[in-house]
Homo-oligomer: A and B are copies of this chain.
Amino acid sequence: MTHSEENYIKAIFHLANTGIEVISTNALAEKMETKPSSVTDMMRRLSKKGLVHYKKYQGVSLTTLGTKTALSIIRKHRLWEVFLVEKLGFTWDEVHEIAEQLEHIKSEKLIDKLDELLDFPKFDPHGDPIPGKNGEFMEHDNQLLSQLPIGSVALCVGVKDSSAVFLRFLDKNSIALGNKMKIIEKEEFDNSLRILLNERELQISQQIASNLYVKKIEL
């Protein structure tokens, strides 16, 4: 498999996990930042290799083999991200781009040894679950901060948007994974939240709240 093919497979997997079952040529083109005609070409290639189901004008979806492949690439991506943060001291907003390259390194043994070195982590630095060696994938059933009712207490467990801009915004406001937060008030006008975090009150926009995954703590 080429890097390009792997990137398409990964993109299809991610789109499929946003709810959509059948992915349109245009949606995939947008995700891949390329042209629909290029997508059509690539879908034919991937289809011939048995990685996707594709019939023209009907959209595309991953085959069992395609899903297995996607999970293996995502596993590598996320393990490398953990390595970069835990062993090399990178910050969580720096690792994605480098992992985009490292995820294409081909060596089963390498990734197993890396997993071991990192002590078999279950989540990457952004709170995303790391697929297992045999393709086990734990979809996290987390809620978004924006979905919690007033008075809730919750642990921050992940980010939905893991762009560097958003991550640096969180750093600036001392919001990190593992933090406990309590929702004090919801502003009707703009759906912003007033939360208590680290003994400190914080005003958070709807935009932010709907990009933070939390796990509710029952009191």
Q: Which residues of A contact B (CB under 8 A)?
A: 84, 87-90, 94, 97-98, 101-102, 105-107, 109-110, 113-114, 117
- In the A-B complex, the 3 residue pairs with the smallest Cβ-Cβ separation, listed nearest first, are A88-B113, A101-B105, A98-B107
A110 to B105: give the CA distance in the assembly, Å.
15
What residues on B are CB-neighbors of A88 within 8 Å?
110, 113-114, 117
A89 lies within 8 A of B113 (CB): yes
- C-alpha spacing A89/B90, complex, angstroms: 23
Closest to A102 in B: B105
Would you give 19 A-B contacts (Cβ < 8 Å), ordered by A? A84-B110, A87-B87, A87-B117, A88-B110, A88-B113, A88-B114, A88-B117, A89-B113, A90-B109, A90-B113, A94-B109, A97-B107, A98-B105, A98-B107, A98-B110, A101-B105, A101-B106, A101-B107, A102-B105
Query: In whole angstroms, how far apart are the Cα atoms of A114 and B98 in the complex?
Result: 13
Instruction: Give Cα A101–Cα B97 distance, bound, in whole angstroms.
Output: 17
**CA of A105 to CA of B100, assembled, Å:** 10
What separation, in Å, do the CA atoms of A84 and B114 have in the docked complex? 9
CB-nearest residue of chain B relative to A90?
B113
> What's the minimum C-beta distance from A112 to chain B, rounded to whole angstroms?
9
| Chain B residues whose CB sits within 8 angstroms of the CB of A89 once the complex forms | 113
